[in-house]
Structures are given as C-alpha cells and as structure tokens.
Structure 1
Amino acid sequence: MPERDNISFFDELTGQVLARLYSTFPVPAILLAKDFVDQPLAYNEHVMSEVASSQSEFFISTCEWLRQAGYINTADRDPNNLIVREVVLTAKGLELLKVKPENLSDEPSLGEQLTAATQEGATDAAKKAVGQILGLGARFMMEGIRSL
C-alpha cells in the first residue's frame, strides 16, 4: 500500500465512516477496522502475537475524533483498537449530511454524495464531500460561539 499523509487518510476514513452511518441511520452500527483499512493486524514481537496495526489505531483515533467533535456517538473505546461499537450519527452529524449545496436544491445532499462516492470508490469526490461537511460543522460551531 502506498503511504498516505495523515490528513488524506483521515478524510478517506471519515468519508467511509459517515457514509456507512448515513446509510444505516438511525440504527447503531458496529464498525470493524478490517472493513476500513488494508492491514488491520500486525505482528508484535514483544507479545508474540498479532495486535492492532498502526492503520487500525488510526481508524479508531479517527472515530474518536469524530465522537469528540460531536459528529457521532459511540460506546466506550475498544482497548484492542479493532472495533467501534454502537456508532450512530448525532443530530449535528445528520443535519450536516442532509445539507444540499447552496442554490442547487435538485442536487443530492452531502450525505448522498458521500455515500455514492464511497460506493463507487471515488476517493477524491468523497474527500471533497468530507471537506465540505467538516467545513460546515466548523462554521456552525463558530457561529454558535459568537452568539453566546
């Protein structure tokens, strides 16, 4: 697998996670690292066993960031860094994914665009949608802070 920079990998994983949750909403999902990364396990000589790979740890950290930023709710963190349980979009996450691009009411919502892009393997389109979603989330947060 070619090396990816952290932001690119984060955007890719975020797109996949949000698309999955949008398509299953409101039913909580179980997200397995093996469904999102190329190498979920790596051999560790210290424990003489396979453990979560750095890719799996990055996936879990991405989900944790999405939880802390208020886009998703999850159960407690898996100590093995391989599973995220009881994952569902928050109201904030759902509202952002339901947004339609300005002045384009006939266009699909950002969530629909993201879901289609991830299903088609169009990572650039998915990353673009993720950028729009996170940008909107940041703007909404800043507007909320200014109104306090």
Structure 2
Amino acid sequence: MLDISVPPRQGVGNKKARSWRAYGSVLSSLPFSKTMARAMAKTNIERFDEMSADILAFLYEGFPIPSSVSPQVAGLTVLKYLEYDPTTENSVTEGERDPETEFFDATLEWLVHAGFIAKRAAPVNRQVYVLTPYGLQALKHVPKPSLGTETLGQKLSAATKAGTKSAASEILNQALSIGAQLITKHAGF
C-alpha cells in the first residue's frame, strides 16, 4: 500500500485534490505499455471493431491468396522465436507478447465462426485465412453507387492505412451488417 502524507490545509477539497495529484504522479511512473493504456480507454466493442477492420482489410487486399494473419496486422507486437530446440523444448525469443494478443485471437476466431473468413491448415503448424464468399461479397458492396464506385473493402483498406479508426469502424459495421444479411439469407432465415 502507498502511504502519502498531505500537509494540513484549509478545506477537505484541497486535501483530496493534493492526494489525487500524488496518486496520479505515482501511477504515471508505472511501466504501462501504450497498448495497455489504449485498451483500458476503449470498450471491447471498440477494440473488436478496430481489430476486425484491420483483419478484413488485410485479407481483402491479399484476396484470393490465403494469408497468415498475425497480431502485427492490428499493430500489435509479437514474440519472435529466433531458435528452438525440439529435444529440450528450449527457445530463444526476442520482443514481448502484446497483452492485446488474446483479444486479437478471439476476434480472429469470431470472424471465422461468423462466416466472414475461412481458416485452413498450412505447413509448419500454422494457419492461413481467406475471405469467404460472404465476406468478399460484403466487402465488394458499393453502398451508394451515385456517390462513387468505391467498395466497402476499398474504403476499409484506405481507412485502416490512414489510421482513421472511427471511419474504419463505421465501414466495418456496414460490411458486417451486409455479411450477416447474406449469411442468414443463405441459411433460409
């Protein structure tokens, strides 16, 4: 526990204000990563939207070639394996695993389960992903042809490259809505 003594002054409000400032200076000195601070400030839905937008834009740009989708797609850091000894199971690594990686993995799996992307096994114990017909059709949709011929996929790619998270989230929600309609229509609902 942190013990902070505050010299007496008039009024309780001043004492509380000085106490919070002291806590703030202590908290700001703790080693939080930028990713953790970013994650703490956002809701799960906002984090999901951002990561989904990054994943779908990445797969749209590489379509139809199945691609390995790592957390780096969403700007997260990954642990790099430099050496691995299978007999002792010892490894030499570089970097750190981003705390948001678990959330990224869950987002990727949700997109597979929902039918927007397909997962396939690839050599050397890795997975590759590709857009499903529903995911591709949703991203090829042109929302208002009278305003231009740019597809949602093109807009999503541009927004993620530009770093405009709110625009990417809005475009993603349009694509997910269209994709859900296509999937439910196909399923007979």
TM-score exceeds 0.5: yes
**Unaligned stretches of 5+ in structure 1?**
42-48, 77-82
Alignment partner for residue 127 of structure 2, among 77, 85, 96?
85
Tell me, yes or no, if structure 1 residue 68 matches structure 2 residue 113.
yes
Q: Could you list the runs of 5+ residues in structure 2 that have no partner in the other structure? A: 1-33, 80-92
Report the CA distance between 1:39 and its aligned residue: 4.7
Matching residue's letter, 1:75: R
Aligned match for 1:57, one of 91, 95, 102? 102
Q: In the alignment, is the contact (CA less than 8 A) between 1:73 and 1:87 conserved in 2?
A: yes
2:172 matched to which residue of 1?
130
1:13 match: secondary structure? helix
Count of aligned positions = 134
1:33-78 alpha-carbon deviations (Å, 9 max, x no partner): 134244546xxxxxxx9885441011111110000111111135xx
Residue identity in the other structure for 2:146? L
| Maintained 8 Å contact 2:54/2:73 | no
Contact 1:32 1:84 in 2 (8 A): no
Q: Secondary structure at the match of 2:150?
A: coil
Paired with 2:177 and 2:161, the residues of 1 have a C-alpha distance of 23
Q: Name the residue aligned to 1:104.
A: 146
Residues 85 and 135 of structure 1: CA distance in aligned 2, closer, same or farther (over 3 Å)? same
Please give the alpha-carbon distance, in whole angstroms, between the structure 2 residues aligned to 1:97 and 1:53.
29
Q: What's the Cα RMSD here? A: 2.5
In percent, how many aligned pairs have the same letter? 33
1:30 corresponds, among 47, 60, 68, to: 68
Whole-angstrom CA distance in 2 between matches of 1:86 and 1:56: 17
Tell whether the 8 Å contact from 1:40 to 1:55 is kept in structure 2 after alignment.
no
Give the TM-score, by structure 1 length.
Answer: 0.78
Bigger mean CA offset, 134-143 vs 9-18: 134-143
Which 4+ stretches in 1 moved above 4 angstroms? 49-53
TM-score (normalizing by structure 2) = 0.62
Higher relative contact order structure (alpha carbons within 8 Å, sequence separation ≥ 6)? 1
Contact 2:55–2:73 (CA<8 Å) still a contact in 1? Answer: no
Deviations 1:108-145 (A, max 9, x none): 00001001101111111100011001111222334345
Which amino acid in 2 is paired with 1:15?
A
Deviation at 1:89, TM superposition (A): 0.6
Change (3 A) 1:144 1:73: closer
